[in-house]
Amino acid sequence: MDLSKQIARVKAILGTPRTEWPVIASEPATIGGIYKDYVLILAAIPAVFGFLKYSVIGISLPFLGTYRAGIGTGLSGMVTSYVLGLASVYVLSLIVDALAPTFGGQKNSVQAFKAVVYASTASWIAGIGQVLPWVSMLILLAGGVYSIYLLYLGLPQTMKCPAEKAAGYTAVTFVVAIVLSWLISFAVGGIIGVGGAMRGAGLPGVSDSRDGGGFDKDSAMGKLESMARQAEEASKKMEAAQKSGDVNAQREAAGDILSAVAGGGDQVESLAPDRIKPFVPESLAGLKRTEISAERNNAMGMQVSEARGTYSDDAGRSLRLEIVDMGGMKGMMAFAGWAAGEQERETDQGYEKTYKQDGRLVHEEWDRERKSGEYSTVLGERFSVKLSGEASSIAELKTAVASLDLAGLEALKNEGVKRD
């Protein structure tokens, strides 16, 4: 396995897909070779980070606490997820190959496998976002939509289908991929005790790619193209590391590439603990702070910082404040904000909804019976602020969040951003 070639391919398919797809389509390859040289490592990303999420970090369940699967159970789920992920890529490629004549393309099993594998790169890398708080689903959505975009660009090159039929070909493949994702989610969920389902999006803003056309520049896909161009520029400085032959330098370069893509073309250093900690006040909503912590973590070149505060009184009332600087995932978070639509769910006990207010992404949940819930917002497409616990109404949680120094936090959105 040539790590430098793998790094170069990841960089190229994410940063310059329009020029990389013809290269992919023309190079000789076998399904086994692609598995060995590309799939085995990248497909492990969502499985490994899923294990970290479910067994190490845990899942915060409203009103119940934090759930963690046992290490043994988590490892079983990780292995199952990984194996099923490897299998699903091949199964999906068989379907892409079978559908080729329907959309004016040419059947070729190796080319179909190429289309599925390299289009999946964005989704695999977005799997890192599982360790983030409530925005993790939006990060996964952003990666999924980028993979749809990559497949849309790749099918005319690999399967030789007419450009005007690529959108339909992509849409049908996407539906099949969703079904396979559900099967994997339910299989893994059955092992670790939690269920999951993938949400998807269509292809908004598509215009004819002929005669110099493409996606409308203000659409979500148009912004993705802009992000890809930024990532291309950010990755040029990695060439020396790839040519050096130094394995450590190549690994560092791989982290820098992922950081550049996830950061929207920028290298981002998240806030140091002592910079984010002051935004957790000594009192909130009439409650005194009884616990505070702050930390900064780095995974594959992407930094994330988090500060937490617990507020309580003698009567047993408790609130939990979480402030997260998504730093290295800033670019993916920005696209998640572009891609996210309004969602609302009402039950007899309460409601849950996601929407945009004054340009900010907002999420709120409320349980009328327990008189508890959570209110979250994203500032500057970088900082997540979440308050959860008991209150007289959701309005009280909103007021408490509004009392924080949100403007001061949002003003730091460009701190640590290194633009090339």
Q: Are residues 44 and 155 in the same domain?
A: yes
Q: Are residues 167 and 223 in the same domain?
A: yes
Q: What is the mean pLDDT of residues 148-155?
A: 92
Q: Are residues 336 and 384 in the same domain?
A: yes
Give pLDDT, residue 65: 55
Give the whole-angstrom CA distance, residue 236 versus residue 233.
6
Give the pTM. 0.50
Q: How far is CA 140 from CA 132, 218, 282, in A?
A: 11, 21, 34
How many domains does the structure of the chain reveal? Answer: 2
Domain that holds residue 394: 273-418
Give the whole-angstrom CA distance, residue 119 versus residue 142.
13
Q: Are residues 240 and 303 in the same domain?
A: no
Q: Are residues 116 and 176 in the same domain?
A: yes
Q: Are residues 18 and 104 in the same domain?
A: yes
- In which band, very low, low, confident or very high, does the pLDDT at 150 lie, cut at 50, 70 and 90? very high
Q: Are residues 289 and 169 in the same domain?
A: no
Give the whole-angstrom CA distance, residue 34 versus residue 284.
54
Q: Are residues 297 and 391 in the same domain?
A: yes
Give the percent of the chain with pLDDT over 70. 64
Phi-psi region at 301: left, alpha or beta (left = phi > 0; alpha = psi -120 to 50): left
Q: Are residues 278 and 353 in the same domain?
A: yes
**pLDDT higher at 29 or 339:** 29
Give pLDDT, residue 332: 52
Residue 241 tokens, joined: 């590391």
Residue-wise over 249-274: b if at least 16 C-beta within 10 A, else e? bbeebbbbbbbbbbbbbbbbbbbeee
Of the three residues 264, 299, 321, the one that is the final residue of a domain is 264
Give pLDDT, residue 44: 84
Give pLDDT, residue 402: 95
Q: Beta strand pairing status for 417-418 and 267-268? A: antiparallel
Q: What is the mean pLDDT of residues 206-211?
A: 36
pLDDT tens sequence across 240-297: 555 566 656 655 555 555 555 555 555 678 899 999 999 999 999 999 999 999 988 7
pLDDT tens sequence across 306-331: 899 999 998 888 999 999 887 755 55
Which of 94-108, 113-127, 209-223 has the least mean pLDDT?
A: 209-223
Q: Are residues 104 and 122 in the same domain?
A: yes
pLDDT tens sequence across 61-90: 554 555 566 665 666 667 667 777 787 888
Give the whole-angstrom CA distance, residue 128 versus residue 34.
22
Q: Are residues 252 and 281 in the same domain?
A: no
In this predicted structure, the answer to whether residue 157 has a pLDDT above a threshold of 50 is yes
pLDDT tens sequence across 15-56: 889 999 999 999 998 988 898 888 888 888 888 777 777 666
Of the three residues 264, 299, 319, the one that is the final residue of a domain is 264
Considering the chain, what is the average pLDDT of its residues? Answer: 75
Q: What is the mean pLDDT of residues 142-151?
A: 86
Q: Are residues 260 and 279 in the same domain?
A: no
Of the three residues 264, 294, 325, the one that is the final residue of a domain is 264
Identify the helix (H) or strand (E) that includes residue 75.
helix 71-99
Report angle CA 279, 409, 411 to the nearest 5 degrees. Answer: 155
